[in-house]
């Protein structure tokens, strides 16, 4: 198994890409902590993953709170003895051009998508260093690489910010045997995007930007996470893994 003996902490781990990643990681031999505000979904997933042994732990966490990150990292190391993989995946989106959004709209998205990633990296990196190294994976977006005519200004700014944060971490922690990369999903069938995908006009416009002509599935991103978490990517750091159906190839 590709992650045998590794311990991973996944923010936003209760559903969507985080849920798919947690399932795949346990299948590949990892112990997983899912940190999320969605308590019912998180506990249900944890119970399911633990049917074959002590494989998973759910912890309720708000990624914008420093104390919650400290508790999540401590829970991982207390329960499973160490931390090897940190997946900074939690995120939110919204709607509106930059001339339409309010300061509070901007702050809410940036707090979760950018500051939450910073807080998670700051909390988790010392534990990964103590474990002898490992992998940090930051969920950005294809919209962290290119502009968009219908996407939220704060969302794009936040995803661009964490792309460069990944490179900063990669350089500063390379000597500690810690790799850091960003992953850039295109449109994915998750609960976060369900409302907008239900609008036929929006969906048609979205599909016009995807050469493969379909929405991606969470497990297609999870397999990218698996590669970056495993030793198969031992010489990969400071890079972007784009999984977007061809969106950014145009």
Tokens representing 238 are: 């400071």
Catalytic site residue 155? Answer: yes
Q: How far apart are CA 148 and CA 186, in angstroms?
A: 12
Q: Quote the DSSP letter at residue 87.
A: E
> What totals of helices (H) and strands (E) does the chain contain, helices first?
9, 7
- The sign of the CA dihedral 200, 38, 182, 2 is negative
Task: Give CA–CA dist 53/110, Å, rounded.
Answer: 38
How far, in Å, CA of 32 to CA of 54, rounded?
Answer: 10
Q: Which of 57-76 are b and which e, b meaning 16 or more Cβ less than 10 Å from the residue's Cβ?
A: bbbebebeeeebbebbbebb
Which of 58, 155, 223, 227 is labelled catalytic? 155
Instruction: Give the count of beta carbons closer than 10 Å to the beta carbon of residue 137.
Output: 26
Q: Which residues are catalytic?
A: 155
């Amino acid at each position: 198994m590709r992650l045998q003996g590794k311990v991973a902490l996944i923010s936003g781990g209760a559903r969507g890409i985080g849920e798919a990643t947690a399932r795949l990681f346990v299948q590949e031999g990892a112990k997983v902590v899912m940190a999320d505000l969605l308590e019912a979904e998180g506990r249900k997933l944890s119970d399911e993953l633990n049917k074959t042994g002590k494989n998973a732990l759910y912890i309720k966490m708000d990624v914008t709170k420093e104390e919650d990150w400290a508790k999540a990292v401590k829970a991982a190391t207390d329960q499973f003895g160490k931390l090897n993989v940190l997946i900074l995946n939690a995120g939110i989106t919204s709607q509106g051009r930059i001339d339409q959004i309010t300061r509070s709209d901007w702050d809410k998205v940036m707090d979760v998508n950018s500051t939450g990633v910073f807080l998670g990296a700051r909390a988790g990196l010392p534990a990964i260093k103590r474990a002898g190294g490992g992998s940090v994976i930051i969920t950005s977006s294809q919209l962290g690489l290119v502009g968009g005519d219908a996407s939220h200004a704060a969302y794009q700014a936040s995803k661009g910010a964490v792309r460069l944060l990944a490179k900063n971490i990669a350089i500063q922690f390379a000597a500690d045997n810690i790799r850091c990369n960003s992953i850039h999903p295109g449109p994915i069938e998750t609960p976060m995007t369900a409302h907008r995908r239900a609008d036929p006009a929006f969906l048609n416009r979205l599909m016009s930007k995807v050469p493969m002509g379909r929405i991606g599935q969470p497990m297609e991103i999870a397999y990218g996470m698996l590669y970056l978490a495993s030793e198969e990517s031992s010489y990969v750091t400071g890079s972007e893994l784009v999984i977007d159906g061809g969106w950014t190839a145009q």
